[in-house]
Structure 1
Amino acid sequence: MRYILVTGGGGQLGTALAKHVWPDGYHVVTSDAADLDLTDTAAIVARVAAGHDGQPFAAVINGAAYTAVDKAEDDLVTAWAVNALAPAAFAAACRAADIPLVQVSTDYVFPGDKDGAWEVNDAVAPLNVYGASKLGGELAVRTGTPRHVIVRTAWVVSATGHNFIKTMLRVGADRPTLSVVADQHGSPTSATDLAAALATIAVRLVERTDAPVGTFHFSNAGATSWAGFAEEIFRQAALRGGPAPAVQPIATADYPTPARRPMNSLLGHSAIERAYGIRPRDWQAALSDILDELLGVPA
């Protein structure tokens, strides 16, 4: 049996990785804040070294993160501990164990001022503490272990946890009109689809020492804005008997937040398609699957 350690087990991605159908001979061991303190680097190193059920881990997928973007502006020590020092500890532990590390990162490492999709080699310049701390994690992993893959993603959603889809459905059930930011652009990402991509990468890294390493992007395909995303949520929800309020587009300036957000978070997929043959499906199709789970299949 090959055991894969997955952090962030209670989150959207960790849940999806646990539900994913892995190849025969693979088993996911999830970890969350209750059993592993990500601010304790010694505990991280010990956890990786301990393995599971008397066997060493075959790989680690670090999907855990401090994701409270606005709170991080005032809680930067914790954000950096979880998002940068913890990946450094995982990298050191994986290198010592001679196993690969898959590190999940974010579109927030980019400044958002580019026309078109961000590619993996584009210059990074985060706008907020969260993005800077995640970039710190990337640097720690790159310098900490040669057998690593960093996967940047964006706008993660699913039928579990807290996310934009569930917020829109909840708020939309009580209001005839919702104001949603229309000048921030990107692509939603199904946690299920992201988990499948990460599993493909992890298995390849375990089974082939010549598997591609480095930095890649994964999100679902196609571009939209938060307002456009909301409109499609309600269009598809209405087909399932769900709420369908009107969406009022507003500017970012009309909805100020403590942390600045990138205006363009669209991620290019050419690197992950070329290296791993992973071709993301359209975000609208991924949304449909999530709404099937939340509201049921359209009549």
Structure 2
Amino acid sequence: MRLSALFPMACAIVAFVLSMLCLFAGHKPGFMEEYHIVTLNTSTLGHNLIPTTTTSSGSTPTATSIGSFFSSIAHNISSTIEGDLDGIIGDVADKLAKELGIKQWYSLHLMDMCEGTYAPNATEKGASLNVSTCSNQTAMYHFDISKQLNQELEVGPLKINLSDIDWPSDIQSGLNDLNVALDATFVLYAIGIAAAGCAILASLVAVFLHGSRLISFGNWGLASLSFFALLIASIIVTVVQSKATHIINKYGNEIGVYAYKGGKYLTLTWVAVALMFLATMAWVVEFCVGRRNKTREYTEKPQRTRWGKPRASDEAAFRRAGV
């Protein structure tokens, strides 16, 4: 048995599992929700447009930029808290999202989007994510947060749309450009996973075929393919995270939308890359060791005449060696 082949096989197995998790994280409510690519906090969406001006007698606030739509919500919220509404905390944020008819957060996964609320509230440090629903799992999923929010606003209590809360069109325009990169990421993950799976099977063969350099070379090729596919996919995801959060925070912070990178997802994908790199290097070592052993066997093999007998020089060497 070729026990040295067990190490790269183990690396390929773990990388295969981690890559599958990167692909299917969040595919149903509650399944690895914290392993998202990007998450949007919309618990304070539109808070800057809520009228805060009151009369000296403390009467109902006067509506500002979106008119009568927010008159009722301003009255309800102002009865809950006192002071400046720009300092929304605790359950006030919960009530704001509920009044608008939207969820408090939306998370992007590679093949779908999930949404839900924070527990115990949106401003609690380390608040957990309560998942309400996830979209249908789709290969090459496109993250259209503007469409999702607009649909929920239109059926919400206030019956408004994104234009009423001054939603910047630049947010979705920027995300649309990144969707193309995510399409490529899906394809690369599929290639990396398939190559890793084949590498596992080929490694199993190598365990029982000792000294076969062809098997080592084939395993190296599969491991290399998986490594480079996962490497490029991980680079793309890292760039997409950075650009998506920058775009959303740049245009959305003023209206109460905040974006955060999925650190756990990055850890998952880069660990898979590291493991396939180790598997690739292990097969390089296996190939080089096998080649050296073959060379040693060839040089140590005595030369024979055309009749199959050792040459005279070889016989003299044997006699000197006492053979």
**TM-score bracket, shorter-length normalisation:** under 0.3
Higher strand share: 1
Taking structure 2 as the reference length, what is the TM-score of the superposition? 0.26
Taking structure 1 as the reference length, what is the TM-score of the superposition? 0.28
Larger relative CO (CA 8 A, sep 6+): 1 or 2? Answer: 2
Higher helix share: 2
